[in-house]
Chain A
Amino acid sequence: MWVIEYRELIRILTISDLKVKYQSSVLGFAWSLLNPLLMMLVLYVVFSNVFKASQDHFALYLLIGIVSWRFMSNGTTSAMTVIVGKSSLVTKIFIPRQVLVLSSVLSSFISSVLEFLVLIPFLLILGAGLSPYVLFFLPIHAIFFLIVYGVSLILAALYVYYRDLNQIWDVLIQIGFFLSPIVYPLTTVPQEYMNYYMLNPVTIIIQMHRDVLLYHMLPSLSDIAISVFAGLAIIFLGSAVFRRFERRFAEEL
Protein backbone atom coordinates (compact mmCIF):
# COMPACT_ATOMS: atom_id res chain seq x y z
CA MET A 1 0.00 0.00 0.00
CA TRP A 2 1.51 3.31 -1.06
CA VAL A 3 0.36 5.21 2.04
CA ILE A 4 2.56 3.02 4.22
CA GLU A 5 5.46 2.68 1.83
CA TYR A 6 5.72 6.43 1.25
CA ARG A 7 4.75 7.58 4.76
CA GLU A 8 8.05 9.41 5.17
CA LEU A 9 7.51 11.42 1.98
CA ILE A 10 3.92 12.20 3.01
CA ARG A 11 5.19 13.44 6.37
CA ILE A 12 7.92 15.63 4.86
CA LEU A 13 5.66 17.13 2.19
CA THR A 14 2.91 17.87 4.72
CA ILE A 15 5.28 19.61 7.10
CA SER A 16 7.01 21.64 4.40
CA ASP A 17 3.59 22.70 3.08
CA LEU A 18 2.63 23.93 6.56
CA LYS A 19 5.95 25.74 6.91
CA VAL A 20 5.48 27.55 3.61
CA LYS A 21 1.90 28.46 4.50
CA TYR A 22 2.75 29.99 7.85
CA GLN A 23 6.16 31.47 7.11
CA SER A 24 5.21 33.35 3.98
CA SER A 25 3.20 35.96 5.83
CA VAL A 26 4.61 37.85 8.78
CA LEU A 27 1.63 37.24 11.00
CA GLY A 28 1.60 33.63 9.82
CA PHE A 29 -0.93 31.62 11.73
CA ALA A 30 -2.67 34.72 13.05
CA TRP A 31 -3.80 35.64 9.55
CA SER A 32 -5.49 32.33 9.08
CA LEU A 33 -7.50 33.02 12.25
CA LEU A 34 -8.27 36.62 11.44
CA ASN A 35 -9.98 35.67 8.22
CA PRO A 36 -12.78 33.52 9.73
CA LEU A 37 -13.22 35.92 12.66
CA LEU A 38 -13.68 38.93 10.39
CA MET A 39 -16.03 36.96 8.20
CA MET A 40 -18.01 35.93 11.26
CA LEU A 41 -18.29 39.56 12.36
CA VAL A 42 -19.54 40.72 8.99
CA LEU A 43 -22.06 37.92 8.66
CA TYR A 44 -23.13 38.44 12.26
CA VAL A 45 -23.88 42.09 11.67
CA VAL A 46 -25.74 41.35 8.46
CA PHE A 47 -27.74 38.31 9.50
CA SER A 48 -28.18 38.63 13.26
CA ASN A 49 -31.48 40.50 12.95
CA VAL A 50 -32.84 37.88 10.58
CA PHE A 51 -31.93 34.71 12.42
CA LYS A 52 -31.03 35.72 15.96
CA ALA A 53 -34.44 34.98 17.42
CA SER A 54 -34.41 31.40 16.16
CA GLN A 55 -30.81 30.67 17.06
CA ASP A 56 -29.05 30.83 20.43
CA HIS A 57 -25.36 31.73 20.36
CA PHE A 58 -25.67 32.92 16.78
CA ALA A 59 -22.06 34.17 16.73
CA LEU A 60 -20.73 30.72 17.66
CA TYR A 61 -23.19 29.06 15.33
CA LEU A 62 -21.71 31.14 12.51
CA LEU A 63 -18.13 30.64 13.59
CA ILE A 64 -18.35 26.83 13.70
CA GLY A 65 -19.97 26.78 10.27
CA ILE A 66 -17.38 29.13 8.78
CA VAL A 67 -14.36 27.32 10.21
CA SER A 68 -15.77 23.96 9.07
CA TRP A 69 -16.38 25.23 5.57
CA ARG A 70 -12.88 26.68 5.39
CA PHE A 71 -11.48 23.13 5.46
CA MET A 72 -13.61 22.27 2.44
CA SER A 73 -12.72 25.40 0.47
CA ASN A 74 -9.03 25.74 1.43
CA GLY A 75 -8.40 22.00 1.31
CA THR A 76 -9.80 21.49 -2.17
CA THR A 77 -8.45 24.69 -3.73
CA SER A 78 -4.88 24.11 -2.63
CA ALA A 79 -4.91 20.38 -3.39
CA MET A 80 -6.33 20.99 -6.88
CA THR A 81 -3.16 22.62 -8.22
CA VAL A 82 -0.67 20.34 -6.49
CA ILE A 83 0.01 17.97 -9.40
CA VAL A 84 0.69 20.87 -11.75
CA GLY A 85 2.63 22.76 -9.09
CA LYS A 86 4.97 19.89 -8.29
CA SER A 87 5.25 18.68 -11.87
CA SER A 88 8.90 17.62 -11.60
CA LEU A 89 7.87 14.92 -9.12
CA VAL A 90 5.47 13.62 -11.76
CA THR A 91 7.53 13.84 -14.94
CA LYS A 92 11.05 13.10 -13.75
CA ILE A 93 10.63 10.34 -11.22
CA PHE A 94 8.04 7.83 -10.15
CA ILE A 95 6.14 8.33 -6.94
CA PRO A 96 2.49 7.40 -6.39
CA ARG A 97 0.91 10.71 -7.42
CA GLN A 98 -1.79 10.42 -4.77
CA VAL A 99 0.97 11.19 -2.27
CA LEU A 100 0.98 14.81 -3.48
CA VAL A 101 -2.78 15.24 -3.07
CA LEU A 102 -2.84 13.45 0.26
CA SER A 103 -0.10 15.54 1.82
CA SER A 104 -1.72 18.77 0.65
CA VAL A 105 -5.08 17.79 2.16
CA LEU A 106 -3.34 16.61 5.34
CA SER A 107 -1.69 20.00 5.71
CA SER A 108 -5.07 21.73 5.32
CA PHE A 109 -6.52 19.27 7.83
CA ILE A 110 -3.91 20.19 10.43
CA SER A 111 -4.52 23.91 9.81
CA SER A 112 -8.22 23.33 10.26
CA VAL A 113 -7.77 21.46 13.54
CA LEU A 114 -5.61 24.35 14.82
CA GLU A 115 -8.34 26.82 13.89
CA PHE A 116 -10.86 24.76 15.82
CA LEU A 117 -8.52 24.71 18.82
CA VAL A 118 -8.54 28.50 18.85
CA LEU A 119 -12.32 28.39 18.67
CA ILE A 120 -12.58 26.62 22.01
CA PRO A 121 -11.78 29.72 24.13
CA PHE A 122 -14.52 31.53 22.23
CA LEU A 123 -16.98 28.84 23.32
CA LEU A 124 -16.11 29.64 26.92
CA ILE A 125 -15.99 33.43 26.53
CA LEU A 126 -19.31 33.64 24.73
CA GLY A 127 -20.94 31.46 27.35
CA ALA A 128 -21.66 28.25 25.49
CA GLY A 129 -19.40 26.18 27.75
CA LEU A 130 -17.71 22.89 27.04
CA SER A 131 -18.76 19.30 27.45
CA PRO A 132 -16.90 15.98 27.22
CA TYR A 133 -18.54 15.50 23.81
CA VAL A 134 -15.83 17.82 22.47
CA LEU A 135 -13.72 14.66 22.25
CA PHE A 136 -15.89 13.54 19.33
CA PHE A 137 -14.73 16.52 17.30
CA LEU A 138 -11.65 14.75 15.93
CA PRO A 139 -13.44 11.60 14.68
CA ILE A 140 -16.04 13.78 12.96
CA HIS A 141 -13.34 15.90 11.39
CA ALA A 142 -11.65 12.70 10.20
CA ILE A 143 -14.86 11.77 8.37
CA PHE A 144 -14.79 15.25 6.85
CA PHE A 145 -11.21 14.54 5.77
CA LEU A 146 -12.43 11.56 3.71
CA ILE A 147 -14.85 13.80 1.83
CA VAL A 148 -12.33 16.59 1.20
CA TYR A 149 -9.63 14.15 0.10
CA GLY A 150 -11.98 12.36 -2.30
CA VAL A 151 -13.11 15.62 -3.91
CA SER A 152 -9.49 16.82 -4.10
CA LEU A 153 -8.42 13.69 -5.98
CA ILE A 154 -10.99 14.41 -8.68
CA LEU A 155 -10.11 18.11 -8.90
CA ALA A 156 -6.33 17.57 -8.96
CA ALA A 157 -6.64 15.02 -11.76
CA LEU A 158 -8.97 17.17 -13.85
CA TYR A 159 -6.94 20.35 -13.31
CA VAL A 160 -4.02 18.80 -15.22
CA TYR A 161 -6.22 18.78 -18.31
CA TYR A 162 -8.47 21.78 -17.65
CA ARG A 163 -6.47 24.69 -16.33
CA ASP A 164 -9.42 27.01 -15.84
CA LEU A 165 -11.02 24.59 -13.39
CA ASN A 166 -9.78 26.64 -10.42
CA GLN A 167 -11.92 29.60 -11.50
CA ILE A 168 -14.94 27.38 -12.00
CA TRP A 169 -14.35 25.74 -8.63
CA ASP A 170 -14.10 29.14 -6.91
CA VAL A 171 -17.62 29.88 -8.05
CA LEU A 172 -18.90 26.44 -7.04
CA ILE A 173 -17.33 26.82 -3.59
CA GLN A 174 -19.13 30.18 -3.21
CA ILE A 175 -22.42 28.52 -4.12
CA GLY A 176 -21.66 25.64 -1.76
CA PHE A 177 -21.13 28.11 1.08
CA PHE A 178 -24.72 29.27 0.75
CA LEU A 179 -26.07 25.78 0.07
CA SER A 180 -24.71 24.64 3.44
CA PRO A 181 -26.26 25.64 6.77
CA ILE A 182 -23.55 28.16 7.68
CA VAL A 183 -25.27 31.54 7.93
CA TYR A 184 -28.83 30.31 8.43
CA PRO A 185 -30.45 27.57 10.56
CA LEU A 186 -31.36 24.31 8.88
CA THR A 187 -34.98 24.93 9.82
CA THR A 188 -35.28 27.79 7.35
CA VAL A 189 -34.83 25.42 4.43
CA PRO A 190 -38.27 24.73 2.87
CA GLN A 191 -39.44 21.23 3.63
CA GLU A 192 -40.03 20.29 0.00
CA TYR A 193 -36.36 20.91 -0.89
CA MET A 194 -35.01 19.19 2.19
CA ASN A 195 -34.22 15.88 0.45
CA TYR A 196 -32.12 17.61 -2.19
CA TYR A 197 -30.55 19.89 0.36
CA MET A 198 -29.30 16.98 2.43
CA LEU A 199 -27.43 15.53 -0.56
CA ASN A 200 -24.60 17.90 0.35
CA PRO A 201 -22.54 15.75 2.75
CA VAL A 202 -20.87 18.83 4.27
CA THR A 203 -24.25 19.80 5.74
CA ILE A 204 -24.23 16.75 8.00
CA ILE A 205 -20.62 17.34 9.01
CA ILE A 206 -21.29 20.96 10.01
CA GLN A 207 -24.37 19.90 11.98
CA MET A 208 -22.38 17.21 13.78
CA HIS A 209 -19.66 19.73 14.67
CA ARG A 210 -22.33 21.97 16.19
CA ASP A 211 -23.80 19.00 18.05
CA VAL A 212 -20.59 18.25 19.92
CA LEU A 213 -19.20 21.79 20.27
CA LEU A 214 -22.27 23.94 20.78
CA TYR A 215 -25.25 21.81 21.78
CA HIS A 216 -23.35 19.39 24.04
CA MET A 217 -24.90 16.29 22.56
CA LEU A 218 -23.86 13.22 20.64
CA PRO A 219 -24.44 13.26 16.91
CA SER A 220 -27.09 10.81 15.82
CA LEU A 221 -25.99 7.40 14.70
CA SER A 222 -27.66 7.85 11.33
CA ASP A 223 -25.74 11.10 10.72
CA ILE A 224 -22.47 9.31 11.46
CA ALA A 225 -23.36 6.36 9.25
CA ILE A 226 -24.47 8.53 6.34
CA SER A 227 -21.39 10.75 6.46
CA VAL A 228 -18.97 7.81 6.72
CA PHE A 229 -20.73 6.19 3.78
CA ALA A 230 -20.58 9.44 1.78
CA GLY A 231 -16.88 9.85 2.61
CA LEU A 232 -15.97 6.35 1.51
CA ALA A 233 -18.07 6.64 -1.65
CA ILE A 234 -16.38 9.92 -2.61
CA ILE A 235 -12.89 8.48 -1.95
CA PHE A 236 -13.74 5.43 -4.03
CA LEU A 237 -14.99 7.58 -6.90
CA GLY A 238 -12.08 10.01 -6.54
CA SER A 239 -9.48 7.23 -6.64
CA ALA A 240 -11.10 5.70 -9.72
CA VAL A 241 -11.14 9.05 -11.54
CA PHE A 242 -7.58 9.81 -10.46
CA ARG A 243 -6.22 6.46 -11.65
CA ARG A 244 -7.99 6.87 -14.96
CA PHE A 245 -6.53 10.33 -15.62
CA GLU A 246 -3.14 9.69 -14.05
CA ARG A 247 -1.93 7.69 -17.07
CA ARG A 248 -1.25 10.76 -19.16
CA PHE A 249 -0.19 13.21 -16.46
CA ALA A 250 3.46 13.14 -17.51
CA GLU A 251 2.52 13.94 -21.10
CA GLU A 252 0.19 16.80 -20.25
CA LEU A 253 2.50 18.60 -17.84
Chain B
Amino acid sequence: MQYGFLHDDLDANGDGNIYAIIADDVSKKYRIPKEKKITVYENLMALVRGGAYAYEEFLALNRVSFSVKHGETFGIIGPNGCGKSTLLKLLAGVLYPDGGRVNINGRIAPFLELGVGFQPELTAKDNVYLYGAIMGLTRRNVDQRYDEIMDFSELKRFENVKLRSFSSGMYVRLAFATAIQTNPDIMLVDEVLSVGDESFQMKCGQKIDEIRKAGKTILLVSHALDTVQSLCSRCMLMDKGKMVVVGKTEDVLTEYARARQKSK
Protein backbone atom coordinates (compact mmCIF):
# COMPACT_ATOMS: atom_id res chain seq x y z
CA MET B 1 0.00 0.00 0.00
CA GLN B 2 1.25 3.43 -0.83
CA TYR B 3 0.34 6.69 0.82
CA GLY B 4 1.49 10.01 -0.42
CA PHE B 5 0.73 13.65 -0.42
CA LEU B 6 -1.00 15.11 -3.38
CA HIS B 7 1.24 14.66 -6.36
CA ASP B 8 -0.03 15.88 -9.65
CA ASP B 9 1.45 12.96 -11.49
CA LEU B 10 -0.55 9.94 -10.36
CA ASP B 11 -1.66 9.13 -13.83
CA ALA B 12 -1.31 5.40 -13.64
CA ASN B 13 -4.12 4.75 -16.08
CA GLY B 14 -2.33 6.84 -18.66
CA ASP B 15 -5.39 8.77 -19.75
CA GLY B 16 -4.33 12.24 -18.62
CA ASN B 17 -6.59 12.33 -15.53
CA ILE B 18 -5.32 12.88 -12.01
CA TYR B 19 -6.49 10.12 -9.72
CA ALA B 20 -7.12 10.33 -6.00
CA ILE B 21 -7.77 6.63 -5.44
CA ILE B 22 -6.67 3.72 -7.54
CA ALA B 23 -7.56 0.20 -6.44
CA ASP B 24 -5.92 -2.35 -8.67
CA ASP B 25 -7.04 -5.97 -8.47
CA VAL B 26 -7.57 -5.77 -4.71
CA SER B 27 -8.43 -8.91 -2.78
CA LYS B 28 -8.95 -9.45 0.93
CA LYS B 29 -9.24 -12.79 2.66
CA TYR B 30 -10.42 -13.11 6.22
CA ARG B 31 -9.17 -16.10 8.17
CA ILE B 32 -11.85 -17.86 10.11
CA PRO B 33 -10.08 -20.21 12.51
CA LYS B 34 -11.76 -23.56 13.13
CA GLU B 35 -11.00 -22.99 16.77
CA LYS B 36 -10.15 -19.58 18.20
CA LYS B 37 -6.76 -19.69 19.89
CA ILE B 38 -5.62 -16.53 21.60
CA THR B 39 -3.07 -17.70 24.14
CA VAL B 40 0.39 -19.19 23.94
CA TYR B 41 -0.93 -22.18 25.87
CA GLU B 42 -3.71 -22.87 23.38
CA ASN B 43 -1.31 -22.52 20.46
CA LEU B 44 1.16 -24.92 22.03
CA MET B 45 -1.57 -27.47 22.72
CA ALA B 46 -2.75 -27.18 19.14
CA LEU B 47 0.81 -27.79 17.93
CA VAL B 48 0.99 -30.96 19.99
CA ARG B 49 -2.36 -32.21 18.74
CA GLY B 50 -1.66 -31.15 15.17
CA GLY B 51 -3.73 -28.95 12.94
CA ALA B 52 -2.36 -25.81 14.54
CA TYR B 53 -3.00 -23.63 11.55
CA ALA B 54 -6.44 -24.89 10.59
CA TYR B 55 -8.60 -22.07 9.37
CA GLU B 56 -11.10 -21.45 6.64
CA GLU B 57 -10.74 -18.54 4.34
CA PHE B 58 -13.46 -16.11 3.49
CA LEU B 59 -12.94 -14.00 0.43
CA ALA B 60 -14.40 -10.64 1.41
CA LEU B 61 -13.05 -8.84 -1.63
CA ASN B 62 -12.41 -10.61 -4.89
CA ARG B 63 -10.17 -8.75 -7.33
CA VAL B 64 -11.83 -5.36 -7.18
CA SER B 65 -10.45 -2.64 -9.44
CA PHE B 66 -11.66 0.91 -9.76
CA SER B 67 -10.31 4.42 -9.73
CA VAL B 68 -11.65 7.72 -8.50
CA LYS B 69 -10.61 10.92 -10.16
CA HIS B 70 -9.44 13.86 -8.14
CA GLY B 71 -12.44 16.04 -7.32
CA GLU B 72 -14.98 13.34 -8.00
CA THR B 73 -17.76 12.14 -5.70
CA PHE B 74 -17.91 8.40 -6.05
CA GLY B 75 -20.52 6.09 -4.54
CA ILE B 76 -20.35 2.45 -3.54
CA ILE B 77 -23.61 0.55 -3.18
CA GLY B 78 -24.62 -3.04 -2.67
CA PRO B 79 -26.47 -5.35 -0.31
CA ASN B 80 -25.26 -6.11 3.22
CA GLY B 81 -22.12 -8.22 3.31
CA CYS B 82 -21.02 -7.31 -0.20
CA GLY B 83 -17.64 -6.04 1.00
CA LYS B 84 -18.30 -2.29 1.09
CA SER B 85 -17.00 -1.76 4.58
CA THR B 86 -14.00 -4.01 4.03
CA LEU B 87 -13.13 -1.99 0.95
CA LEU B 88 -13.43 1.24 2.90
CA LYS B 89 -11.18 -0.06 5.64
CA LEU B 90 -8.61 -1.10 3.06
CA LEU B 91 -8.64 2.37 1.55
CA ALA B 92 -8.33 3.90 5.01
CA GLY B 93 -5.20 1.82 5.65
CA VAL B 94 -6.71 -0.05 8.58
CA LEU B 95 -6.67 -3.41 6.78
CA TYR B 96 -3.98 -4.69 4.43
CA PRO B 97 -4.90 -6.18 1.08
CA ASP B 98 -3.92 -9.81 0.49
CA GLY B 99 -3.62 -9.19 -3.21
CA GLY B 100 -3.44 -6.22 -5.51
CA ARG B 101 -2.52 -2.63 -4.75
CA VAL B 102 -4.20 0.41 -3.28
CA ASN B 103 -2.85 3.81 -4.21
CA ILE B 104 -4.03 6.85 -2.31
CA ASN B 105 -2.97 10.22 -3.57
CA GLY B 106 -3.52 12.85 -0.92
CA ARG B 107 -4.41 13.17 2.74
CA ILE B 108 -7.30 10.91 3.57
CA ALA B 109 -9.90 11.33 6.29
CA PRO B 110 -11.85 8.19 7.04
CA PHE B 111 -15.28 8.92 8.48
CA LEU B 112 -15.79 5.25 9.31
CA GLU B 113 -17.04 6.18 12.72
CA LEU B 114 -17.24 9.58 14.32
CA GLY B 115 -15.28 10.45 17.43
CA VAL B 116 -12.59 7.79 17.12
CA GLY B 117 -9.94 8.37 19.76
CA PHE B 118 -12.05 10.81 21.78
CA GLN B 119 -11.36 10.40 25.45
CA PRO B 120 -14.26 10.98 27.86
CA GLU B 121 -11.91 12.13 30.63
CA LEU B 122 -10.56 15.02 28.57
CA THR B 123 -12.30 18.34 27.91
CA ALA B 124 -13.87 19.14 24.56
CA LYS B 125 -10.96 21.40 23.75
CA ASP B 126 -8.35 18.76 24.51
CA ASN B 127 -10.27 16.26 22.43
CA VAL B 128 -10.27 18.58 19.43
CA TYR B 129 -6.47 18.81 19.65
CA LEU B 130 -6.22 15.05 20.17
CA TYR B 131 -8.31 14.33 17.10
CA GLY B 132 -6.31 16.81 15.05
CA ALA B 133 -3.13 15.04 16.12
CA ILE B 134 -4.63 11.66 15.15
CA MET B 135 -5.22 13.12 11.72
CA GLY B 136 -1.57 14.11 11.62
CA LEU B 137 -2.08 17.86 12.08
CA THR B 138 0.35 20.02 14.02
CA ARG B 139 -0.69 22.03 17.02
CA ARG B 140 -0.52 25.25 15.01
CA ASN B 141 -2.81 23.81 12.35
CA VAL B 142 -5.44 23.03 14.96
CA ASP B 143 -4.98 26.46 16.57
CA GLN B 144 -5.93 28.09 13.28
CA ARG B 145 -9.07 26.02 12.89
CA TYR B 146 -10.15 25.82 16.49
CA ASP B 147 -12.62 28.73 16.43
CA GLU B 148 -14.25 27.48 13.28
CA ILE B 149 -14.70 24.01 14.82
CA MET B 150 -16.34 25.49 17.90
CA ASP B 151 -18.59 27.73 15.80
CA PHE B 152 -19.70 24.89 13.58
CA SER B 153 -20.46 22.52 16.44
CA GLU B 154 -22.12 25.33 18.43
CA LEU B 155 -20.31 24.12 21.53
CA LYS B 156 -18.09 27.10 22.32
CA ARG B 157 -19.69 27.50 25.75
CA PHE B 158 -18.80 23.93 26.70
CA GLU B 159 -15.19 23.86 25.54
CA ASN B 160 -13.84 23.25 29.04
CA VAL B 161 -16.39 20.60 29.97
CA LYS B 162 -15.22 17.01 30.13
CA LEU B 163 -16.54 14.96 27.27
CA ARG B 164 -18.19 12.38 29.53
CA SER B 165 -20.82 14.93 30.52
CA PHE B 166 -21.75 15.55 26.87
CA SER B 167 -25.00 14.26 25.45
CA SER B 168 -24.65 11.92 22.51
CA GLY B 169 -25.84 14.66 20.18
CA MET B 170 -23.21 17.10 21.41
CA TYR B 171 -20.58 14.37 21.13
CA VAL B 172 -21.40 13.68 17.52
CA ARG B 173 -21.56 17.36 16.64
CA LEU B 174 -18.09 17.93 18.07
CA ALA B 175 -16.77 14.86 16.29
CA PHE B 176 -18.16 15.86 12.92
CA ALA B 177 -17.04 19.47 13.21
CA THR B 178 -13.50 18.41 14.12
CA ALA B 179 -13.26 15.76 11.46
CA ILE B 180 -14.48 18.05 8.72
CA GLN B 181 -12.01 20.78 9.69
CA THR B 182 -8.96 18.58 9.26
CA ASN B 183 -9.09 19.64 5.63
CA PRO B 184 -8.56 16.28 3.96
CA ASP B 185 -8.02 15.83 0.23
CA ILE B 186 -10.05 12.65 0.22
CA MET B 187 -13.00 11.81 2.44
CA LEU B 188 -14.22 8.28 3.00
CA VAL B 189 -17.78 8.45 4.27
CA ASP B 190 -19.60 5.42 5.65
CA GLU B 191 -23.20 6.43 6.29
CA VAL B 192 -22.37 8.72 9.16
CA LEU B 193 -24.27 11.64 7.75
CA SER B 194 -27.31 10.91 9.84
CA VAL B 195 -26.02 12.67 12.93
CA GLY B 196 -27.59 15.13 15.31
CA ASP B 197 -30.97 16.75 14.92
CA GLU B 198 -32.51 17.82 11.66
CA SER B 199 -31.00 21.29 11.52
CA PHE B 200 -27.52 19.96 12.22
CA GLN B 201 -28.01 17.27 9.57
CA MET B 202 -28.83 19.97 7.12
CA LYS B 203 -25.72 21.87 8.11
CA CYS B 204 -23.63 18.73 7.59
CA GLY B 205 -25.18 18.16 4.20
CA GLN B 206 -24.39 21.73 3.20
CA LYS B 207 -20.83 21.37 4.46
CA ILE B 208 -20.30 18.18 2.45
CA ASP B 209 -21.71 19.91 -0.59
CA GLU B 210 -19.33 22.81 -0.01
CA ILE B 211 -16.39 20.41 0.22
CA ARG B 212 -17.52 18.69 -2.94
CA LYS B 213 -17.66 21.96 -4.79
CA ALA B 214 -14.23 22.93 -3.46
CA GLY B 215 -12.89 20.12 -5.58
CA LYS B 216 -12.23 17.52 -2.88
CA THR B 217 -12.63 13.83 -3.53
CA ILE B 218 -15.43 12.04 -1.68
CA LEU B 219 -16.04 8.33 -1.54
CA LEU B 220 -19.49 7.58 -0.19
CA VAL B 221 -20.75 4.22 0.97
CA SER B 222 -24.46 4.16 1.52
CA HIS B 223 -27.71 2.26 1.50
CA ALA B 224 -29.61 5.48 0.91
CA LEU B 225 -29.87 5.35 -2.85
CA ASP B 226 -31.39 8.83 -3.15
CA THR B 227 -28.37 10.33 -1.36
CA VAL B 228 -26.08 8.50 -3.74
CA GLN B 229 -28.11 9.67 -6.69
CA SER B 230 -28.06 13.30 -5.64
CA LEU B 231 -24.36 13.45 -4.70
CA CYS B 232 -22.42 11.01 -6.84
CA SER B 233 -21.58 11.33 -10.49
CA ARG B 234 -20.29 7.79 -10.76
CA CYS B 235 -20.70 4.76 -8.59
CA MET B 236 -19.92 1.10 -8.21
CA LEU B 237 -22.25 -1.79 -7.45
CA MET B 238 -20.79 -4.65 -5.44
CA ASP B 239 -22.09 -8.09 -4.59
CA LYS B 240 -20.44 -10.92 -2.62
CA GLY B 241 -17.05 -9.23 -2.66
CA LYS B 242 -17.06 -8.71 -6.40
CA MET B 243 -17.47 -5.62 -8.47
CA VAL B 244 -20.65 -5.97 -10.51
CA VAL B 245 -20.66 -2.76 -12.45
CA VAL B 246 -18.99 0.67 -12.43
CA GLY B 247 -20.38 3.63 -14.29
CA LYS B 248 -22.69 6.60 -14.29
CA THR B 249 -24.86 6.63 -11.19
CA GLU B 250 -28.19 6.35 -13.09
CA ASP B 251 -27.01 3.33 -15.04
CA VAL B 252 -25.67 1.57 -11.97
CA LEU B 253 -28.85 2.28 -9.98
CA THR B 254 -30.97 0.86 -12.80
CA GLU B 255 -28.78 -2.21 -12.84
CA TYR B 256 -29.10 -2.53 -9.04
CA ALA B 257 -32.89 -2.25 -9.21
CA ARG B 258 -33.01 -4.92 -11.91
CA ALA B 259 -30.74 -7.28 -9.94
CA ARG B 260 -32.94 -6.91 -6.87
CA GLN B 261 -36.06 -7.53 -8.90
CA LYS B 262 -34.54 -10.70 -10.26
CA SER B 263 -33.49 -12.06 -6.89
CA LYS B 264 -37.02 -11.58 -5.58
Indicate whether A and B interact. yes
Residue pair B112, A92 in contact (C-beta under 8 Å): yes
Closest-CB distance, A184 to chain B (whole angstroms): 31
Closest-CB distance, A141 to chain B (whole angstroms): 26
The answer, yes or no, to whether A8 is at the interface (CB within 8 Å) is yes
Closest-CB distance, B38 to chain A (whole angstroms): 5
B132's closest neighbor in chain A, by CB? Answer: A8
The residues in A between 156 and 171 inclusive whose CB is less than 8 angstroms from any CB of B are 161-165, 168
State A8–B129 Cα separation when bound (angstroms): 9
A158's closest neighbor in chain B, by CB? Answer: B40
The answer, yes or no, to whether A175 is at the interface (CB within 8 Å) is no
Residue pair B137, A93 in contact (C-beta under 8 Å): no
The answer, yes or no, to whether B229 is at the interface (CB within 8 Å) is no
B139's closest neighbor in chain A, by CB? Answer: A8
Closest-CB distance, A107 to chain B (whole angstroms): 15
Residue pair A89, B136 in contact (C-beta under 8 Å): no
Closest-CB distance, A244 to chain B (whole angstroms): 11
Closest-CB distance, B248 to chain A (whole angstroms): 31
Total number of A-B contacts with CB less than 8 angstroms? 69
Residue pair A92, B113 in contact (C-beta under 8 Å): yes
Residue pair A250, B117 in contact (C-beta under 8 Å): no
The answer, yes or no, to whether B214 is at the interface (CB within 8 Å) is no
The answer, yes or no, to whether A90 is at the interface (CB within 8 Å) is yes
The answer, yes or no, to whether A54 is at the interface (CB within 8 Å) is no
Residue pair B110, A12 in contact (C-beta under 8 Å): no
B104's closest neighbor in chain A, by CB? Answer: A94
State A92–B93 Cα separation when bound (angstroms): 10
State A20–B126 Cα separation when bound (angstroms): 15
A249's closest neighbor in chain B, by CB? Answer: B94
The answer, yes or no, to whether A35 is at the interface (CB within 8 Å) is no
The answer, yes or no, to whether B53 is at the interface (CB within 8 Å) is no
State A91–B92 Cα separation when bound (angstroms): 10
With known contacts A94-B110, A162-B38, A164-B40, A88–B117 Cβ distance under 8 A: yes
State A188–B39 Cα separation when bound (angstroms): 38
B134-163 CB contact bits vs A (8 Å, 1 = yes)?
Answer: 101111000000000000000000000000
Q: Which of B39, B93, B112, B121 has a CB less than 8 Å from the CB of A162? A: B39
Q: Which of A8, A16, A93, A248 has a CB less than 8 Å from the CB of B119? A: A16
Contact size range, A: 20 to 34
Closest-CB distance, B110 to chain A (whole angstroms): 6
Give the residues in chain A near B41, CB-CB below 8 Å: 164
The answer, yes or no, to whether A192 is at the interface (CB within 8 Å) is no
The answer, yes or no, to whether A9 is at the interface (CB within 8 Å) is yes
The residues in A between 13 and 44 inclusive whose CB is less than 8 angstroms from any CB of B are 16, 20
Closest-CB distance, B160 to chain A (whole angstroms): 16
Give the residues in chain B near A162, CB-CB below 8 Å: 38-40, 43
The answer, yes or no, to whether A6 is at the interface (CB within 8 Å) is yes
Closest-CB distance, B91 to chain A (whole angstroms): 10
Give the residues in chain B near A88, CB-CB below 8 Å: 116-117
Count contacts on B: residues with CB < 8 A to the other chain: 31
With known contacts A162-B38, A162-B43, A91–B94 Cβ distance under 8 A: yes
A109-137 CB contact bits vs B (8 Å, 1 = yes)?
Answer: 00000000000000000000000000000
A94's closest neighbor in chain B, by CB? Answer: B93
A215-253 CB contact bits vs B (8 Å, 1 = yes)?
Answer: 000000000000000000000000000000001101100
State A163–B39 Cα separation when bound (angstroms): 5
State A48–B139 Cα separation when bound (angstroms): 52
The answer, yes or no, to whether A95 is at the interface (CB within 8 Å) is yes
The answer, yes or no, to whether B133 is at the interface (CB within 8 Å) is yes
Give the residues in chain B near A91, CB-CB below 8 Å: 94
Residue pair B116, A250 in contact (C-beta under 8 Å): no
Closest-CB distance, B54 to chain A (whole angstroms): 16
Closest-CB distance, B184 to chain A (whole angstroms): 12
A161's closest neighbor in chain B, by CB? Answer: B38
A23's closest neighbor in chain B, by CB? Answer: B121
Residue pair B134, A95 in contact (C-beta under 8 Å): yes
The answer, yes or no, to whether B66 is at the interface (CB within 8 Å) is no
Give the residues in chain B near A248, CB-CB below 8 Å: 31, 96
Residue pair A94, B92 in contact (C-beta under 8 Å): yes
Residue pair A6, B94 in contact (C-beta under 8 Å): no
9 A-B residue pairs with CB within 8 Å: A8-B132, A9-B133, A9-B134, A12-B129, A16-B119, A93-B94, A93-B117, A164-B40, A165-B40
The 3 A-B pairs of least Cβ separation, nearest first, read: A94-B93, A9-B133, A164-B39
Question: Could you list 9 further interchain pairs (A-B, Cβ under 8 angstroms) beyond the known A12-B129, A94-B110?
Answer: A9-B133, A89-B116, A93-B92, A93-B112, A94-B93, A95-B136, A163-B39, A164-B41, A250-B95
